[in-house]
Amino acid sequence: MKTKALLVVLGVGLILMGCTLSQGRPSKAIARVQNEYLFLEDIQGSASSFQNTNDSILIVNNLIKNWAIKQLLLNKAFVNLSEAEVKRLNVLVQSYKTDLYTKTYKEKLVKTKIDTLITREEISEYYELNKRNFKLNESLLKGRYIRILKENYNMKEIVKRFTRFAENDIVFLDSIALQFSSFSLNDSIWVQSQKFLNKIYPLSKNDYNKFLKKSKFQRLEDSLEVYLVHINETLKRGDVAPLDYVKPTIKQILTNKRKVEFSRNFNNEILHDALQKNEFEIYNLNE
């Protein structure tokens, strides 16, 4: 259906442009610049997501005009550039083409050939050997909070459950989470202190450091809501980052190292294989 609609649009668009196509044009050609033709399939993907016919006519017209401008400029470039300039550009084009094909092929091999599963032991070993390199650029904390309207009928129970925070308390708080304006109960993971404290509206940024030095549980209020906050642990900027926090970074580092090693070994293997099959030779220029 999209193809039929596009053909209709193309027909209307070409009429509006005042284009006349020669009788000897190739099948499905929709435009020509000298000996180069633009075909329906060349623009089908770009022009098939239209909302209405008027939009489609504009899209098709612009696609055809842009193609024509590029072809005309290319033809003029070949005529007006010097032989040396054309030769230099052809070298760059061939180099880019080679890089594009080889890079795509090697990336495909990497996905199918190397084992990207990084074990916990590998991550821990790398962390212990390079711990001094993982210094925090910002403070972290482990904590939880609940933001709730002051008039909540269940306030005493919520405060009791929040401070005790046993397994059955967590289940209870999760079950009534719709009563909270916002909340975060996962206090076993490290998070950026500023992002966490930004959600505690009674606090200003100037209060953050003082707040983190106080007791673990605090209750704050504004005119409408109560904020229950419990901080388990904190780390300052410049401290060694905890393993759990840098684990994704280490995993990516180890994966990249495997890719580099695979690429290096693959290059050596492909050269060795070509030499064995007499597909590659290095000639002695003195002979």
Q: Is 73 in the same domain as 143? A: no
Q: Hey, is 161 helix, strand or coil?
A: helix
Classify strands 140-149 and 225-235 as parallel, antiparallel or unpaired.
antiparallel
Task: Please report whether residue 265 resides in a domain.
Answer: no
Of 165, 122, 121, 123, the closest CA to residue 143 belongs to 165
**pTM over the 0.85 mark:** no
258 falls within a domain:
no
- The CATH number covering residue 147 comes to 3.10.50
- 140 and 231 fall within a common domain: yes
* Cβ neighbours, 10 Å, residue 229: 23
Question: Residues 133-191: pLDDT tens digits?
Answer: 999 999 999 999 999 999 999 999 999 999 999 999 999 999 999 999 999 999 999 99
- How many distinct structural domains can be found in the chain? 2
69 plus 143 within the same structural domain: no
The three-point CA angle 187-155-143 to 5° equals: 10
Question: Residue 282 class from Cβ within 10 Å (0-12 exposed, 13-18 middle, 19+ buried)?
Answer: exposed
**What's the one-letter identity of residue 128?**
E
Q: Which structural domain range is residue 165 located in? A: 136-235
**pLDDT tens, 83-116?**
999 999 999 999 999 999 999 998 888 888 776 7
159 in a structural domain: yes
The secondary structure element, H or E, covering residue 230 is strand 225-235
